[in-house]
Amino acid sequence: MSHIQSRGPSSSSLARQISLGAFAGLAIASASFADGPMFRPDSATATSQFSSGYTINHAISGAGLAAGFTPQSQHAIYVSGNHWTTANSKTIGEFATFNFAQPKTVGGFYMWCHQSARGGNGHANNPFYCATRFDLVFFDSANNTLATLTNLTATPDVPVAQIYGFEAISNVSAIRFIVRATANNNVSPYTGLAEVAFTSCVSPIVAPVANAGICPGGSVQFTAAASGTPPFSYQWRFNGEPIDPLTNITATKPTLEIANVGDEVEGTYDCVVTGPCSSTITLPATLAVCLSDFDCDALVNDSDFEVFAFAYNVLDCADPSMPAGCPVDLNADNVVDDADFVLFLAAYNQLVCE
């Protein structure tokens, strides 16, 4: 993920261009919601609106949300005037500008997307209201561009806030939301927003870590992909206990690497990802030592069966023709026999090592 690397009293010619599209899916699901305090703009303007009843000010009023709402709160069914809608046939390039009476430090954006009647939810009759791609531009009090975030993506018909974290930006007096794409190839007659809010810091939002299976002696990696407000630190854990970086130098890196896998490393792994405002723990991933994966390709398939069949015909692990280490002796009784075949068959039927 790209972050803003330098800022200061900058003009628009020095604005940083940042793409956050890679974390579009994460913006919806996995936040811990121990973010910094939520705050709202003091005023807003827009380039177009459907009618006076759909003024942009309704997108900062809290209309349609319960008192004391959080990013997890669902926006209510829409009624006239409780959101912002652009004028007919005005979508791409239209923008709304949110203003703060006092400069703010901003590290996160919450957006309740304008929903539709898709799925019979009783909302508005246009199924393409939600902008699916947009930019955010940050200005100081002199209207200088501090930073630009480009190609942020949104998912239509999500009732809770979609969350976007980024490197904190200081001295922000205004933020512009620019529509870049809608859900039906940019020919929607309208687009709009239900509600917006901001924060100084978004907790790490983490993707699930994939399970892994590997042959004895093989190597494996687990990666904790995180968005939110950086910088992030990482601490990998094995069966709930922190891994000492003196024993594995990758224990505090985004990607944990485990070499020469043996039974002693079989178990569950997760990662504590810590940002400026809180920590989030990835869901645990399982590492399985796949004894029947003789060619170490993370599958137990016909090529492994050929290795098993050869060793089964040799039988005795002490026979000089047996592969070194007798890896096919799955129950470690020094012979390759029917008991080993039962164990191999179970892995063969499963196919994927995990």
User: Which of 144, 172, 199 finishes a domain?
Assistant: 199
Residue 6 lies in a domain: no
pLDDT tens-digit profile, the chain (354 residues):
333 222 222 222 223 333 343 333 333 333 345 799 999 999 999 999 988 888 999 999 888 888 889 999 988 766 778 889 899 888 999 999 999 999 999 999 999 988 776 555 555 667 678 899 999 999 999 999 999 999 999 998 888 999 999 999 999 999 999 999 987 777 778 888 999 999 999 999 898 898 888 889 889 999 999 999 999 999 999 999 999 999 999 999 999 999 999 889 999 999 999 999 999 999 999 998 888 888 888 888 999 899 999 989 999 999 999 998 999 988 999 999 999 899 989 988 988 887
Residue 294 lies in a domain: no
180/221 same-domain check: no
Single pTM value for the model: 0.77
Residue 278 lies in a domain: yes
254/329 same-domain check: no
CATH number of the domain residue 262 falls in: 2.60.40.10
Residue 295 lies in a domain: no
Residue 309 lies in a domain: yes
Q: DSSP states of 275-303 as a string?
A: -SS-EEEPPPEEEEE-TT-TT-SSB-SHH
220/179 same-domain check: no
189/285 same-domain check: no
176/151 same-domain check: yes
Containing structural domain, residue 328: 302-350
